[in-house]
Amino acid sequence: MSDAIQRVNELRQALNYHNYRYYVENSPEISDIEFDRLMRELQELETAYPELDDPLSPTHRVGSDLSKGFEQARHIYPMLSLGNTYSIDEIDEWVNRTSNSLGGQQFSIVGEMKFDGTSISLIYEHGRLVRAVTRGDGEKGDVVTNNIKAIRSIPLTLQGEGWPEKFEIRGEIVLPWKEFDELNERRAFNEEPLFANPRNAAAGTLKTLDPSEVSRRGLDAYFYYMLGEDLPASCHYDNMAEARKWGFKVSDAMKRLNTVEEVEKYIKYWDKARKDLPVATDGLVFKVDSLRQQLNLGFTAKSPRWAVAYKFAAERALTRLQFVSFEVGRMGIITPVANLEPVKLSGTVVKRASLHNEDIIRQLDIHDHDMLYVEKGGEIIPKIVDVDISSRQTDAKKVKFVSHCPACGSPLCRIEGEAAWVCPNRYACPPQIVGRIEHFVGRRMMNIDGIGEETAQALYDNGLIKDIADLYSLDAQSLLTLDGFGNRSAERVLEGLEASRQVPFERVVFALSIPFVGDTTAKKVARAARDIDTLMGMTIEQLCAIEDVGIKIAESITEYFSSPVNREIVRRLKDAGLQMSMPEDTAAYEHSDVLGGKAIVISGTFTHHSRDEYKSMIEQYGGRNVSSISKKTDYVLAGENMGPAKLEKAANLNIPIIDEDTFLKMSGK
Ligand code: IVH
């Protein structure tokens, strides 16, 4: 008994902590499966020892995501969670239980995706959105109506007819994979902490106090539950079909299922097919269709009896840590990387996984040569999620973070309040210099053909260049001294350098690697300053007056240009003939409307321009670049190697597929 008391206390403490990490910090330390395992163990102990039950036990509540800065509102109907299952057997058990509770009545089940985002409750009155509230602690949540209005796929006023005078609709706010990757790319560039997964990014975005930031990040929403007094239909499936007509995004994956066999087939199909969806899902949800039967089945304290979640297993593998390397980024940030014995995971061989920062190494308590669990929960970069302590060698030492830069030996600094260690030797630390060169020549910056990561490194290692401005002094003779370089490759580099002299000023500003200045900020700053001399002379106040430039970015810009090294680099780039001002005639940057709001999906690789260039062109000429093919897509701009799944989808929906020449003609180019 005393063992049980101790374990119950441990479990409650652990679950409270992980609830907080998940809902408040948006930064979970353990997987959902692990969390559910702890919760189940606690539930079992509380059932076995009812005298240990406590009304404040984590088993009696749903997690809280309440945060400061938002007004709160009480939910009309509490927002509960779903019971989880992990196997078809458990689903079969739920079906049997439900059948028994319904006294053997026939019933249909609706199968749908379990979207991995953050839940939202919307209230509509007279066809107009009046309030949006997060789940919060299940009883009351944060009012985030203004942020919700920034999500374009959510109807603010309803289409069609037949909506009740007042009703509630619930759904999931998600950040599609593409937007998630772009957001993290921008954050990596700006040296901001990355979001671990789209769920955290969606939750974090919804809680920002700036609706324009919400709008920029590209959140989306799928709806799956309607509540109210006078709903249009007597079953869930039909209500959702109505909601679709009123303008809500309801997933096409939603399906009515009539037998256990159909349920099993649905699970088997979506276990694979979900990988092609544009958004993250972590399972499926099965619901009893009839609202009358739902009412009969009712709720437990935490979840409805009429619905259950089936969680997909995240693919994970166990492998041995060979060593931890410490890598220096363009901005001097030190990233620990786990070098692993190669192991196969979701079809690819994993050899390395980022350990992000010192805090993560400490949390996981990694020791030399530990056996590590690597997971690919849909994220592109595999991550280390756990350690198998039982196979640790007895004399193994804890992995220690380096105190000095592994490249230049400088003592590292830790930025106050942040997890990252940084090498302060900005102008002489080789990987930082090479990183800046790689960035400068990159496709979205100066787009210098012929210089990739390897060539940038070789140019630096061979002493041919020591900063970005040196690139413009390269000649064929020096290039030919590089390993593997012939006339053709040297020519390509020189042509690329020549072409880069025409790259617009705003991209030159982005290419300079000014900390916290990403492509969007660079554009705004360049357009406001109009030329480099003005930009270099701007004060913090003047910079802060530019849209989206806050004090952190302004300080970073003034600091960058106060360095004599940077001023000299800029002077030499100017002498080399780069565009250092906005053209007199800015018509080239002005937007036309020839594409008239058409939704265009880009797929494959192109010859005349890069994908990013086509993306900007679509927007510049008044179209909309969308990430996935749907009924609403107007064209698919297809290059080479367009995926067969996309091709098939476009063909099925009769969406015209155009090539780049056609697109350029359409845009009047
Ligand atoms: S129904 C009373 N349907 O999963 C329960 N929830 O673990 C109503 N979720 O809080 C929820 N996709 O945030 C439902 N198709 C779906 C869902 C879904 C994702 C989320 C939702 C809920 C959580 C429960």
> Rounded to whole angstroms, what are the CA distances from 467 to 60, 172, 427, 524?
60, 47, 9, 26
Q: Region 293-300: what's the mean pLDDT?
A: 95
Q: How confident is the model at residue 607 (pLDDT cuts 50, 70, 90)?
A: confident
Q: What is the pLDDT of residue 67?
A: 55
For atom 3 of ligand 1, which residue has the closest CA? 224
Q: How confident is the model at residue 395 (pLDDT cuts 50, 70, 90)?
A: very high
Angle (CA) 567-571-574 rounded to 5° is: 140
Four-point Cα dihedral 112, 113, 118, 122, nearest 10: -30
What DSSP element (H or E) covers 242? helix 236-246
Does residue 26 surpass a pLDDT of 60?
no
608 secondary structure, DSSP code? S
Distance 81 CA to ligand 1 centre (A): 7
Q: Region 18-41: what's the mean pLDDT?
A: 73
A 10 A CB-CB count for 338 gives 26
For atom 16 of ligand 1, which residue has the closest CA? 114
**Interatomic CA distance for residues 302 and 78, integer angstroms:** 10
Q: Region 352-371: what's the mean pLDDT?
A: 91
Pocket test for ligand 1, best of 220, 285, 287 (most atoms within 8 A of CB): 285
Strand partners, 299: 304
**Interatomic CA distance for residues 145 and 132, integer angstroms:** 5
> Is 178 among the residues known to form the active site?
no
What DSSP element (H or E) covers 638? strand 635-638
Which atom belonging to ligand 1 lies closest to the Cα atom of 113?
A: 15
Give the CB-side neighbour count of residue 295, counting CA atoms within 13 A.
7
Task: Report which residue type is found at 614.
Answer: Y
Q: What is the pLDDT of residue 416?
A: 73
Angle (CA) 399-401-403 rounded to 5° is: 140
Q: Region 51-55: what's the mean pLDDT?
A: 78
Q: What is the pLDDT of residue 377?
A: 57
Pocket test for ligand 1, best of 222, 224, 310 (most atoms within 8 A of CB): 224
Does residue 338 surpass a pLDDT of 50?
yes
**Contact present, 157 and 356 (Cβ < 8 Å):** no
pLDDT in tens, 536-572: 999 999 999 888 788 989 999 999 999 999 999 999 9
Which atom belonging to ligand 1 lies closest to the Cα atom of 114?
A: 12
Q: What is the pLDDT of residue 425?
A: 96
**Interatomic CA distance for residues 529 and 584, integer angstroms:** 13
What stretches of 442-579 show up as alpha helix (H) in DSSP? 453-461, 476-479, 487-500, 505-511, 519-529, 532-537, 540-544, 551-562, 564-575
Highest mean pLDDT among 10-19, 526-535, 586-595: 526-535
**Contact present, 28 and 20 (Cβ < 8 Å):** no
Window from 66-70, 289-293, 616-620, 645-649 with minimum mean pLDDT: 66-70
Q: Region 245-263: what's the mean pLDDT?
A: 95
Q: How confident is the model at residue 589 (pLDDT cuts 50, 70, 90)?
A: very low
Identify the residues whose C-beta falls under 6 Å from ligand 1.
80-82, 112-115, 119, 172, 224-225, 285, 304, 307, 309
The two beta strands, 334-345 and 348-354, are antiparallel
Sign of the C-alpha dihedral computed for residues 194, 198, 200 and 205 taken in this order: positive
Q: Residue 316, exposed/middle/buried by CB under 10 A (0-12, 13-18, 19+)?
A: buried
**Interatomic CA distance for residues 302 and 370, integer angstroms:** 38
Task: Report which residue type is found at 459.
Answer: L
Strand partners, 386: 373
pLDDT in tens, 59-78: 765 545 555 568 899 999 99
* Nearest alpha-carbon partner for 622 in 600, 596, 589: 596
Distance 277 CA to ligand 1 centre (A): 18
The DSSP result for 389-439, as a single string, is GGG--TTPPBP---SB-TTT-PBPEE-TT-S-EE---TTT-HHHHHHHHHH
Does residue 2 surpass a pLDDT of 90?
no
Distance 107 CA to ligand 1 centre (A): 21
Better-predicted residue by pLDDT, 189 or 585: 189
Q: What is the pLDDT of residue 258?
A: 93
Q: Region 503-509: what's the mean pLDDT?
A: 95
Q: Which of 114, 287, 383, 649 is catalytic?
A: 114
For atom 12 of ligand 1, which residue has the closest CA? 114
Pocket test for ligand 1, best of 114, 227, 288, 302 (most atoms within 8 A of CB): 114
**Contact present, 405 and 334 (Cβ < 8 Å):** yes
Q: How confident is the model at residue 587 (pLDDT cuts 50, 70, 90)?
A: very low
Which atom belonging to ligand 1 lies closest to the Cα atom of 118?
A: 13
pTM, 2 dp? 0.52
Three-state DSSP at 585 gives coil
Sequence-distant (6+) residues with CB within 8 A of 655 are 629, 633, 634, 635, 636
Which atom belonging to ligand 1 lies closest to the Cα atom of 62?
A: 10
Q: Look-up: residue for tokens 């620990």?
A: 336
pLDDT in tens, 124-166: 999 999 999 999 989 999 999 989 998 988 999 998 899 999 9
Give the CB-side neighbour count of residue 209, counting CA atoms within 13 A.
5
Q: What is the 3-state secondary structure (H, E, C) of 12-65?
A: HHHHHHHHHHHHCCCCCCCCHHHHHHHHHHHHHHHHHCHHHCCCCCHHHCCCCC
**Interatomic CA distance for residues 617 and 613, integer angstroms:** 6
For atom 22 of ligand 1, which residue has the closest CA? 81
Does residue 212 surpass a pLDDT of 50?
yes
Better-predicted residue by pLDDT, 426 or 623: 426
